[in-house]
Amino acid sequence: MSGSKGNVKKFADLTTNTFCNQTRITCNAMTTLLETKATFRAADAVCFDVDSTVIKEEGIDELAKFCGVGDAVTEMTRKAMGGTMTFKTALMKRLAIIRPSREQVNKLITDHPPQLTEGIQELVERLQQHNVQIFLISGGFRSIVEHVATQLNIPLSHVFANRLKFYFNGEYAGFDETQLTAESGGKGKVISLLKEKYGLKKVVMIGDGATDMEACPPANAFIGFGGNVTRPQVKENCTWYVSSFHELLQELEKI
């Protein structure tokens, strides 16, 4: 009988310890979430990814479709996602398939302008009202991202993206490989540069992809965005994941 009581006590202790451990993990996660939200409210700069975050589309996919090589580029993107090549190599290979002319890029922007994600315009306006500096950091193309920046009243000097190069007759001539955004880990390098240049203390990165999440640190906080596409790796590993920019607007109401 006494052995039975001992077993019950051991089970109770084990259950209590398990519950406490789970509670501790939950509390730690909650603390981190609260810290991330506090950093967002106190940020002096917010950096946004562009493709599938600020806009609904992936710029390189739209350009590929427009140039009639959508399927080939999708296949190359799939191979690149396998992690067997650097970001720069993957970009080079995809652009080698597309080979967009200056005229095609301009026509894409004119005929099929990038579609802003719902709530982004209001969010940027609200942040700017709080004197928060806004930056667009993209692995996409500067000509497209500048169009987006203009729509959102973001200075073009706050745009960091890849530059396409063209010959004098407008034909594709490659891309500027010296840009930080052309490198693996480039978004983090841009944020380090911004912190040094502007003396920023609290920088938040917002985006849908792994390259955005990897930019924290040096970013002080990262917010995963799933309003256009859900990346399981990001959703499972970030402390704050939102499906709408309205969630961020609600958080700003607490200021």
- CA-based nearest residue to 83, from 251, 233, 253: 233
- Number of neighbours of residue 40 by Cβ within 10 angstroms: 23
Question: Count H helices, E strands: the chain?
Answer: 11, 8
Q: What is the DSSP-derived secondary structure letter of residue 55?
A: B
Q: Any catalytic annotation for residue 51?
A: yes
Q: Which of 199, 209, 207, 200 is nearest to 233 (CA)?
A: 209
Find the distance separating the first CA and the last CA of the chain, reported in whole Å.
61
Q: How far is CA 184 from CA 21, 73, 133, 188, 209, in A?
A: 37, 19, 25, 9, 13
Q: What DSSP element (H or E) covers 154?
A: none
Choosing from 13, 44, 51, 176, the catalytic residue is: 51
Strand 172-175, strand 203-207: pairing = unpaired
Catalytic member of 44, 49, 176, 212: 49
Cα–Cα distances in Å, from 43 out to 35, 38, 233, 246?
Answer: 12, 8, 25, 18
Is residue 13 flagged as an active site residue? no
Paired residues of 159 in beta bridges: 136
Beta pairing partners, 223: 206
- Amino acid identity, position 16: T
Structure tokens at 139: 């692995």
Active site residues per annotation:
49, 51
